[in-house]
Structure 1
């Protein structure tokens, strides 16, 4: 057996029965940071009062997202690495939606003392693996005791000399396009909430988003006029663009394919699959507007158009039903 693999396996056996209150804060930090490799952008990583990150562009894109157990994830639905991937993806996608390249993450873990140390280690590995997809480093963070398991992640990004793509730039005549899947994570959530664990492709979509982070910078280079991460539901998030840009957006239902497993799950659960596609979140696809004459980058699909007016419609009509997730009503809005 390879020495590093053997050492990792031995470390897992040692930590499998240890709780946070048995290792202490600094022991936990040592265990987690050992799983967080540093890239070139990290001039000074974990271990000091603050990290130092190179800023080649001279500007920093920054965002923060919080995940609360029971609200954003359940440990009986997701393993620790899944939660790490989800926590990182939520922030990395926000950076990409500005047309930037993610460079660094800071992670705060607020956890009860009886949380297994192995859970925290595997969570750190999940964060590091997702960050590694874009070459970002986890450069620091914090740990504290909390009765409720809560994770807060801050992401930093580099615009590489480009202007940011904001929500307020859409104009009448633009097309609306989408990069990435929508509806699968929401379908997976519904499947899990009904007590099932299949279809696996939908459950896995909920557990670990598959985000095309390169699509954000590619859209910026192609001339995208506005962009947003679809985290709360496509209609709800396009509504943010419509409001900020003072325009109307119409979405075309037929533009979306219905994968067979999504169709089958909807039939079995008695759900309109377009409710997942149009109002479901957490796939972290990117939605953007482009001038009608623009050549869209690979992976971008036209799903609608921009006109004068306000609000968001579907096939020219108001959408009846939820439009997305509202964290303070626990329901669609």
Structure 2
């Protein structure tokens, strides 16, 4: 399609976007009315939303519109899975400049649709407005199918910590792209299009997970969320973490310890959970640590809680992990 978004017009753009949407079982009434209708068999709806801003969370010279669509959908659908729920639907909020080529939002929608389908969900609708830069907002919905949600606050002393999915791949891919390269391709693609293990969330819930989250901000940071919510300590065993040989090669080339990416790199959206120690986990889950009681230590200011997350028993004091308002301005989320 030739021309810009402005030339296509709001309603022309909406027609083009909605024409890309396929049906999904949970979406009973899709785009075209004042609101969508999404089935909620459990009578509870799991909901999450996230915003991606051009120049902050993605760069158009690094990622195609299709890549951005898949990434935007993935990071929200992973949150649904991390609650132990099954994704059902997504809604899109989109702001774009009038001069943006009309093909860009159309390819974005293709990415959102395909990632939603991969998770078993459908696109239920959304809204488009004019903006100074591209902003993509996704709201994802999910169904618990009769189970209780798996929150961050249920980890108990003695639980094991296990993860499924990739760790550090997106961060390694970002390091490659930052230096003007486009290979190794597997790591670059992991940064552009994360592949969350969606089925692992509900499966983890069925296995008895006591706490669960997806790794969006970094393993240490996200386990820190569980530790604080559960009022426990978590110790990670570095020897149990998978550091692929090719990631080590990238680290050597750029002067970074690849373990740093595995521990603090986010946006892979692996699923990490705590389980009772007697749980028999399938091979896809890798046990990487344990939950310990919180102990107090003395100091000049009186007793203070020991660090919530340690690596091999020691504080991980190297920088890393994502926090929006503490991060420097830059061209990408990481």
TM-score between the two structures when normalised by the length of structure 1: 0.94
Q: Deviations over 1:26-47 (max 9, x none)?
A: 1001101111111121111011
1:300 maps to which of 254, 275, 285: 285
In structure 1, the residue matched to 2:266 is 281
Residues 70-112 of structure 1 show CA distances to partners (whole Å, capped at 9, x for unaligned) of 1110000000110000000000000000000000000011111
Is 2:208 the counterpart of 1:223?
yes
Contact 1:233 1:281 in 2 (8 A): yes
Alignment of 1:8-19 (within 5 A): 15=1, 17-19=2-4
Are the aligned partners of 1:206 and 1:283 in contact in 2 as well (CA < 8 Å)? yes
Matched-pair contact (CA < 8 Å) for 1:67–1:151: yes
Give structure 1 regions of 4+ aligned residues with deviation exceeding 3 angstroms: none
Whole-angstrom distance in 1 between the partners of 2:178 and 2:96: 24
Tell whether 2:47 aligns with 1:62.
Answer: yes
Q: Which of 310, 319, 323 in structure 2 is aligned with 1:326?
A: 323
Matched ranges for 1:224-243 at <5 A: 224-243=209-228
Map 1:1-333 to 2 at 5 A.
15=1, 17-309=2-294, 311-330=308-327
Distance (whole Å) between structure 2 residues aligned to residue 175 and residue 288 of structure 1: 8
Greater helix proportion: 1
For this pair of structures, how many residues does the alignment match? 318
Matched residues in 2 for 1:115 and 1:33: separation? Answer: 18
Give the C-alpha shift of residue 298 in structure 1: 4.1
Q: Per-residue deviation at 1:258?
A: 1.6
Q: Aligned with 2:315: secondary structure?
A: coil
- In 1, the alpha carbon distance for the partners of 2:122 and 2:242 equals 35
CA contact (8 A) 1:219 1:297 kept: no
Is the Cα–Cα contact under 8 Å of residues 111 and 145 in structure 1 kept in the other structure? yes
CA distance in 1: counterparts of 2:293 and 2:235, whole angstroms: 11
TM-score of the superposed pair, with normalisation by structure 2: 0.93
Unaligned runs of 5+ in 2: 295-306
**CA positional deviation for 1:185:** 0.2
Q: 1: distance between equivalents of 2:27 and 2:189?
A: 31
**Per-residue deviation at 1:322?**
1.9
In 2, the alpha carbon distance for the partners of 1:304 and 1:322 equals 21
Tell me the distance in 1 between the aligned counterparts of 2:187 and 2:28. 39
**CA offset digits 1:6-49 (Å, max 9, x no partner):** xxxxxxxxx1x210000001100110111111112111101111
Q: Report the more deviating stretch, 298-307 or 281-290.
A: 298-307
Unaligned runs of 5+ in 1: 1-14
Contact 1:222 1:297 in 2 (8 A): no
Tell me the distance in 1 between the aligned counterparts of 2:309 and 2:196. Answer: 24
- Supply the distance in 2 between the matched residues of 1:277 and 1:298 (Cα, whole angstroms): 20
